[in-house]
Amino acid sequence: MEDQLTAGTGVRTRHAVVVGGSVAGLLVARVLADHAEQVTVVERDRFPDGAEPRPGVPQGRHIHVLLEGGQRALEELLPGLVGELGEQGAPRVGMPEDLVQWQNGRWFRRLPATSHLFTGSRPQLEALVRRRVLADPRIRTVEGTEVVGLLGDSRRVRGVLVRERGAGAAKEARRLEADLVVDASGRGTRAADWLAAVGAEAPHEETLDTGLAYATRVYKDTGGRIGRDHLGYYIMPNPRQVYGGVALPVEDGRVLVTLSGLRGSEPPTDEAGFEEFAGRLPHPVLRDWIAGAEPDSPVHGFRQTANIRRRYDRPGRRPAGFLAAGDALCSFNPVYGQGMAVAAIGAVALRRALSDPRRTPTTFRVQRALFDASRQAWDISSGSDKKMPGARGDGLRSKPGDKVAGWYLERALARYTGDPVVGAALRSVLTLSAPLGVLFAPKVVRAVLFTPQAATPLEPPLLREGG
């Protein structure tokens, strides 16, 4: 069958190309190595030797968290990696116990943790994943090289056209033939142009954009306040209060602070403006912490925060042997911290689709599995963003049942800050470690519908409950 991808039917792919060597691309390469004789990762950058930021990950200097669902997926793909994160000093933050959190006008009770995040830097995680994946002799890299097109036609992809980057590089494109091409090049993917050039149909792009922008700065906690009785601060925006602020520790004892605002209220990237902007938050607790900390970096801004979903799951004139994964398939407002987790969850979905003995792994079937793996994160991110003032895009369209579901979720969110049953259920969903259905378990429904809102702290709870 022309649209057969890999093993499962007795056919082994000889060569697979992965476009992009970020977390998503590396994890895809790890999966494909079990189904191909050779996997080539084509990366525009040259990989750093260690845990350093690189130009191809412009958001790499900002706060990243590894949600619990992503931790589980990484362990399935690269056993022991989560333990390595801890050994390398990535902080493990328990929710809600370790954070001073504010949402919808209420402070969270600091109840015992039901979920944990790793808050180490993005370069640290990517370096650990890269070292583990590239130790596999079946996987090679072509660095400092960009993909400029596809080989093949509208029926079947046969590889990619690549061109070296940088001063003195040969500018002529060369052929890199392959049986399978996976686009993991990120939210800036050029796949629509590549597909059009071979006579194929680009997927529809579903978008939802609040215009959110954020700015981040590294600090040293000279007063030793973080790590003693709490590990960070998180002030979440909402439709009535659109400014956000978060401070979380990273692996070297420093703290990343990110401030955010919507279109027209973007945080500045100069030092004085950054500190002034912190004063717009609904409580001065984070501003006061900043005032007592020592800056340890410039302020870095980021504005590419639209939710974008490319609908490869819908039928269209697209070639066999071409898949999209990671942010090239579905990218989220980074404020929700889902990207790395979804990259890992998607790679697990790819592994299962390729190895399923009951079904032939056709391009469309495997692409649909990748799409489904991102669905819950999209529902969370777009569902929250569509309520924000000034949101734009076709992702705003309502679906049947949205009104009833919205009413129920509003009641759940009102109890999120203080009710341990509702809080545990919502955290498991938001960290992608449980399906949305857990919000409708009988004990959660009873708490949402029949339990009054629990009392929550009137001031920032700087000590754990009972502390």
Residue 87, class by beta-carbon neighbours within 10 Å (0-12 exposed, 13-18 middle, 19+ buried)? exposed
Pair (290, 219) in one structural domain = yes
Closest to 117 in 3D by CA, of 234, 268, 39, 222? 234
Last residue of a domain, one of 302, 325, 351: 302
- Long-range contacts from 419-428, C-beta under 8 angstroms, 24+ separation: 419/447, 419/451, 419/453, 419/454, 420/111, 421/447, 422/447, 422/448, 423/96, 423/108, 423/111, 423/114, 424/114, 424/115, 427/95, 427/96, 427/114, 427/115, 428/68, 428/114, 428/115
Residue 279 counted as domain residue = yes
Shared domain check, 221 and 165: no
Residues 145 and 167 in one domain: yes
- Domain with 134 in it: 13-64+126-207+305-382
Let me know if residue 467 belongs to a domain. Answer: no
pLDDT digits (tens, 9 = 90+) for 97-112: 999 999 999 999 999 9
pTM over 0.75: yes
Specify whether 321 is located in the same domain as 297.
no
Determine the pLDDT at residue 167. 63
319 and 196 part of one domain: yes
Q: Are residues 226 and 280 in the same domain?
A: yes
Q: Given a cut of 60, is residue 6 above it in pLDDT?
A: no
Strands (E), 194-310: 205-208, 213-220, 232-235, 244-249, 254-261, 294-295, 300-302, 307-310
Q: Label residue 11 by pLDDT band (50, 70, 90).
A: very low
Mean pLDDT across the chain: 93
CA Rg value for the chain: 23
Task: Establish if 463 belongs to a structural domain.
Answer: no
Confidence of residue 57 (pLDDT cuts 50, 70, 90): confident
Q: Are residues 176 and 259 in the same domain?
A: no
**Domain assignment of residue 227, yes or no:** yes
CATH classification of the domain holding 242? 3.30.70.2450
- Specify the number of domains making up the chain: 2
pLDDT digits (tens, 9 = 90+) for 113-157: 999 999 999 999 999 999 999 999 999 999 999 999 999 999 999
More confident residue, 138 or 465: 138
End residue of a domain, out of 269, 302, 335: 302
Instruction: Kindly state whether residues 165 and 26 are assigned to the same domain.
Output: yes
pLDDT in tens, 421-439: 999 999 999 999 999 999 9
Domain CATH number, residue 156: 3.50.50.60
Do 242 and 181 reside in the same domain of the chain? Answer: no
| Residue 357 resides in a domain | yes
User: Hey, what's the torsion of the CAs at 390, 392, 397, 401, to 10 degrees?
Assistant: -40
- The last residue of one of the domains, among 363, 382, 401, is 382
The verdict on residue 2 lying in a domain is no
Q: Are residues 55 and 140 in the same domain?
A: yes
Mean pLDDT confidence for 188-209? 96
Does the residue 185 lie in any domain?
Answer: yes
Instruction: Let me know whether 294 and 334 are in one domain.
Output: no
Q: Residue 37: inside a domain, yes or no?
A: yes
Residues 147, 56 within the same domain: yes
